[in-house]
Chain A
Amino acid sequence: GQQVMQIPQYQHVQEGEDFTTYCNSSTTLSNIQWYKQRPGGHPVFLIQLVKSGEVKKQKRLTFQFGEAKKNSSLHITATQTTDVGTYFCAGPKMDSSYKLIFGSGTRLLVRP
């Protein structure tokens, strides 16, 4: 069945280092969304990418959607302790745009 995979599963960085998480779908996606979940919290919507090759920035966060619309990445420049959490990508299922399938997430830990 349709799958959305994320790597790495965990990443432990020193504060100030960069961080990247990758999202790969087994099928072409009409769009991809990114969410952040702080420890003990709930997922919070960060951004949606729709166009092939699209790049969006939010301060230190850069989001990319692949040309084939099957992969995406989130890059954080100069991580801070406030970036700690799990980052999820999500895309609509092939059989229904009402169903959103989430990746397994990348947990980011930042050493101060």
Chain B
Amino acid sequence: EAQVTQNPRYLITVTGKKLTVTCSQNMNHEYMSWYRQDPGLGLRQIYYSMNVEVTDKGDVPEGYKVSRKEKRNFPLILESPSPNQTSLYFCASSLTLSTNYGYTFGSGTRLTVV
């Protein structure tokens, strides 16, 4: 089944403890992206990747890191999480480098930083 898989689905952590949210897609998509969703603010882009080893900042990249060593994987790294990073995170992928195709989203990761 074609899908974007995120792990974990739920995570509660403490301030400052490094964490990684994994994202993997099995559709051979070139383009991958991370979004966070907060009430009243909609979906905001954190980082995106156009292909292997090519990444760039979205609208809210502060406090996050990403890497794209393989085409299928695009992990999101929080080096020192803070409570304002409590949010619902979505990984998404798309077939091409442009936005002319729809995104396929993962099921989401609900992160709570205490």
Contact = CB atoms under 8 A, between A and B. Distances in A.
Is the contact region of chain A dominated by helix, strand, or loop, or is it mixed?
A: strand
A48 to B, nearest CB: 6
Interface string A86-111: 00101110001111111111000000
Interface residues of A, number: 26
B42 A88 contact: yes
Contacts, number: 64
Given A41-B107, A96-B56, 4 more contacts: A42-B107, A98-B31, A99-B48, A102-B42
Nearest to B92: A43
B78 to A, nearest CB: 20
Interface of B: 31, 33, 35, 40-45, 48, 50, 56, 58-59, 90, 92, 97-108
A97 B98 CA distance: 6
Contacts of A99: 45, 48, 58-59, 99
A89 B12 CA distance: 31
Contacts of A88: 42-43
